[in-house]
């Protein structure tokens, strides 16, 4: 019997709850596919998504445990603060380094689905900011799988589907409410032949999956798969390698953190504001300390030294003004804001 398109991986971020509810509502009962969902969520926040999706559609949804078997007719949702990855017959749940500043991230799931299941994999990018999912969808397409995006006009946040469309040869674009019936139609189609990745890409994808599974990035020699970049990792300040995938440019550091170009820009400009406020804090502490010293000296009758402390405190306060103004004016840049 020919293989079918029975492995569906879905990525969503901001605005994704609405899109996911519409997607599952359109699925038929008894659908012979396994659906895997990554929705960006802050660590420590209890996810209500399994309950919501179970109520809104005919398929049961839950968080998997590491090593759970893959069963058709089920929706598996990445647990908070854990990557979800696929093996041939089971699911891996691991706390590997963040990708695109998230854990769980979309790209590791998509990448593992492409690597293991080839043309059987169907990747869907829904509403979200920035571009998590684009690299993984590119890998799905390169392996012969099917690439789908939510119509950006239908998305509450269009950046994720737009970035995927700009960098990947998309097979289908649809409103969230139409994705369930589309999945059902695709499940009846033969998967077609798997495509082999170029050897360099195959080794890199394999190593990046292992990094998400908590293998040490330095041991995986990840820096061999790109040119060293003149930037540092916003997460750990480690060395970054620049990786090219078709038109996609992204980065990975020697400790394992990974970034798209848009996410790296977001992280770097966010650091600028943080450093400026660090400088403001240091100035304010200096002003407080000098004023306190001046008060103590004045009480002790040493008015000359006290006045010197008060003068220095005024000077520090004046020097802090342009730094404070710069911090207030600093804007976190994204790919959308510089287009």
Contact 43, 159 (CB under 8 A): no
Catalytic residue, candidates 13, 127, 159, 260? 13
Active site residue 225: no
Largest CA distance in the chain: 96
Nearest to residue 81, comparing CAs of 50, 55, 105, 113?
105
* Catalytic site includes residue 171: no
Kindly name the residue from 132, 201, 266, 335 that is annotated as catalytic.
Answer: 132
Q: How many residues does the chain have?
A: 339
Neighbouring residues of 280: CB distance < 8 A, sequence distance ≥ 6: 320, 323, 324, 327
Residue of 107, 97, 74 whose CA lies nearest to 7: 74
Taking each helix axis as running N to C, give the angle between helix 134-142 and helix 159-167, from 0 to 180 degrees, rounded to the nearest 10.
Answer: 40
Axis-axis angle for helices 134-142, 199-212 (nearest 10)? 130
Core vs surface per residue 112-142: b (16+ CB within 10 A) or e: bbbbbbbbbbbbbbbbbbbbbbbbbbbbbbb
For residue 172, count CB atoms less than 10 angstroms from its CB and return exposed for 0-12, middle for 13-18, buried for 19 or more. Answer: middle
Q: How far apart are CA 128 and CA 156, in angstroms?
A: 8
Q: Which residue in 271, 270, 335, 269 sits closest to 128, CA to CA? A: 335
**Which of 40, 83, 254, 257 is an active site residue?**
40
Asked if 91 contacts 67 with a C-beta cutoff of 8 angstroms, the reply is: yes
Q: What is the DSSP string of 262-277?
A: HHHHHHHHHHHHHHHH
Query: Contact, 325 vs 276, CB < 8 A?
Result: no
Catalytic residue list contains 112 = no
Query: Catalytic residue positions?
Result: 13, 40, 132
């Amino acid at each position: 019997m020919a293989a079918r398109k029975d492995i569906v991986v879905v990525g969503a971020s901001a605005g994704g709850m609405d899109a996911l509810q519409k997607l599952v509502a359109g699925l038929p009962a008894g659908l012979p596919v396994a659906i895997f969902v990554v929705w960006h969520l802050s660590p420590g926040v209890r996810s209500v998504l399994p309950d919501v999706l179970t109520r809104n559609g005919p398929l049961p949804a839950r968080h998997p445990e590491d090593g759970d078997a893959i069963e058709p007719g089920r929706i598996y949702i990445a647990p908070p603060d854990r990557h979800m990855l696929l093996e041939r017959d089971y699911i891996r749940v691991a706390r590997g380094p963040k990708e695109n500043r998230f854990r769980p991230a979309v790209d590791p799931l998509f990448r593992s689905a492409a690597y293991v299941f080839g043309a059987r994999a169907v990747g869907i990018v829904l509403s979200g900011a920035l571009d998590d999912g684009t690299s993984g969808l590119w890998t799905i397409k390169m392996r012969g799988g099917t690439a789908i995006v939510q119509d950006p006009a239908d998305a509450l946040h269009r950046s994720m589907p737009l970035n995927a469309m700009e960098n990947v040869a998309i097979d289908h674009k649809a409103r969230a409410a139409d994705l369930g019936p589309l999945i059902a139609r695709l499940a009846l189609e033969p998967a077609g032949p798997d495509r082999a990745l170029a050897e360099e890409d195959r080794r890199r994808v394999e190593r990046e999956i292992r990094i998400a599974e908590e293998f040490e990035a330095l041991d995986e020699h990840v820096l061999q798969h790109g040119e060293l970049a003149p930037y540092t990792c916003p997460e750990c300040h480690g060395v970054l390698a620049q990786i090219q995938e078709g038109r996609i440019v992204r980065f990975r550091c020697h400790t394992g953190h990974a970034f798209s170009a848009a996410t790296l820009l977001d992280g770097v400009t966010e650091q600028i504001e943080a450093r400026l406020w660090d400088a403001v804090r240091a100035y304010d502490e200096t002003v407080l300390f000098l004023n306190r010293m001046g008060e103590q000296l004045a009480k002790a009758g040493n008015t000359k030294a006290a006045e010197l402390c008060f003068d220095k405190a005024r000077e520090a306060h004046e020097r802090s003004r342009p730094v404070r103004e710069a911090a207030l004016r600093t804007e976190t840049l994204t790919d959308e804001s510089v287009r």
